[in-house]
Amino acid sequence: MNSGAYRTTASMTALMCAMMAISLGATPLSLSDEDVSEALGYEEILETVVHIDAPVEEGDSVSWLERFGVLVADLQSQQVVFDEDEALTLLSRTLLEWIDPEGGEFTPERAEQIRRRRQGYMYDPGFGIEISDQYLRIGEFRDDIPEATREVLQEGFRVVEMDGQALDRTGLVQAHNMLRSRHPSPLQLVFLNADNDRVTQSVERVSTQLDLMEWEEVLPFDLGYLKVNRLHESSGGQIADILKSWSDHGLNGGILDLRGADGGDLESVREVASLFVEERTFLFAFRDRDDHDLMVMEAETGTVLGKPVMVLMDAQTGGAAEVLAAVLADSVRGAMLFGQPSRGDFLLRSRIELSSGIELYLPTRRLITGSGAEYDGDHGVNPDIITAEADGAFRAARSGRTARIAEEVAQEKLHHRIRGDATLRRAVDVLVGLKALDMRPYGTTTNYSR
């Protein structure tokens, strides 16, 4: 969506609200002159919609409305019977979805959904998933786990299915995501108990706030890995410290996993992105519809990592985490993005209240990154390498030798850790390849210094 289209769609807000009001049973008299004027700029729009007897002129600002009116008139002339209220409802919903799939009417329910997403609230069964002996197993119980769940499950039970999906080709991150839901629906779990019997159990999900970071680990071949849930106050400094520690300890690179991450702290974006550029480098800005800067972020003083970082993202990456992905996409050196296009959120949307009292949640600003890329909510960040969500082939080829070299052992351990996770596997492949080539960011070698 270009900037002109961006402003045009915003000016149609009141019109959509009017149509929504009508579809909900309000009369045209409930529309104020201000709403009508705000919609398309003249006061006789309802008359134009109802009385269609003039040809559509090219360049007419309401030609789309006239075309709709002609369609309705044609249907009625052919004695096609339909419910006008339902037609208006369908039209308004279609317009909202077309203009902004992430936006829509701002209701109390929508406000609560946004709050929970930004603050990292989800519903889960009170335990996590871990890999042991090559299998996905029930992890440590939290204190808030329902008592009924504690009675039937034990830590270490092998998990076979979740919500009807077999886990034999599922990675660790995907399994964690399957545990969780944004709704309090029960989890249908199939597991093997202590006697190795297959048991099916419905498990209650409880509301919980996810930690800022899920976990950190060092993978075989000295590769750092950090799974982030959200960018919140102070999280940027914590993430930056972990990334710097990878460099300080001589790791070969790292993986920053932003899949499913959200949050609302833009200062954290600056703290992390500053590790990839020189001091005072322009990182990103938010601008209003008239192209005035609302916020400008530049890099802080700090030490550039000098290590490659692979950034993982998916269609649920949003909020401040998505802003970070946008900045790292093409404005810095030493980062590469893997996964699927992000959500298209970027903290661009605000509540818009019209004089009729109806409220919408639509983009009111644009994001500009250091490379000049613009995001207005019409699309998300495209990764450098697009991968499938699942990895179909993960079984390691076994040598006939009984004694294996250390690299083979490390390869197998790494293979089991990333099993079923195509995005993580591709990122690991690139890092291992850079290690083999003795490469560092900026095209330098092991003599790299800054």
CB 383 within 8 A of CB 313: yes
The residue among 40, 69, 99 that closes a domain is 99
Q: Tell me what pLDDT residue 43 has.
A: 33
Give tens-digit pLDDT for 217-273: 999 999 999 999 999 988 999 999 999 999 999 999 999 999 999 999 999 999 999
| One domain for residues 287 and 360 | yes
| One domain for residues 142 and 199 | yes
Domain at 346, CATH number: 3.90.226.10
| One domain for residues 140 and 251 | no
Asked whether residue 378 is assigned to any structural domain, the reply reads yes
User: Average pLDDT in the 313-330 region?
Assistant: 96
| One domain for residues 19 and 161 | no
Whether 350 shows a pLDDT value over 80: the answer reads yes
| One domain for residues 194 and 264 | no
| One domain for residues 190 and 247 | no
The residue among 209, 244, 271 that closes a domain is 209
Asked whether residue 334 is assigned to any structural domain, the reply reads yes
| One domain for residues 190 and 220 | no
| One domain for residues 245 and 341 | yes
User: What residues make up the domain containing 233?
Assistant: 213-443
| One domain for residues 225 and 193 | no
| One domain for residues 150 and 221 | no
The residue among 180, 209, 238 that closes a domain is 209
Q: Tell me what pLDDT residue 248 has.
A: 92
Give tens-digit pLDDT for 356-413: 777 889 999 999 999 999 999 989 999 999 987 655 433 333 334 344 556 667 777 8
Asked whether residue 315 is assigned to any structural domain, the reply reads yes
| One domain for residues 274 and 413 | yes
- For residue 189, the cross-strand partners are 162, 201
Q: How many domains in the chain?
A: 3
| One domain for residues 79 and 150 | no
Give tens-digit pLDDT for 165-213: 999 888 899 999 999 999 999 999 999 999 999 999 999 999 999 999 9
The pTM of the whole model exceeds 0.95 = no
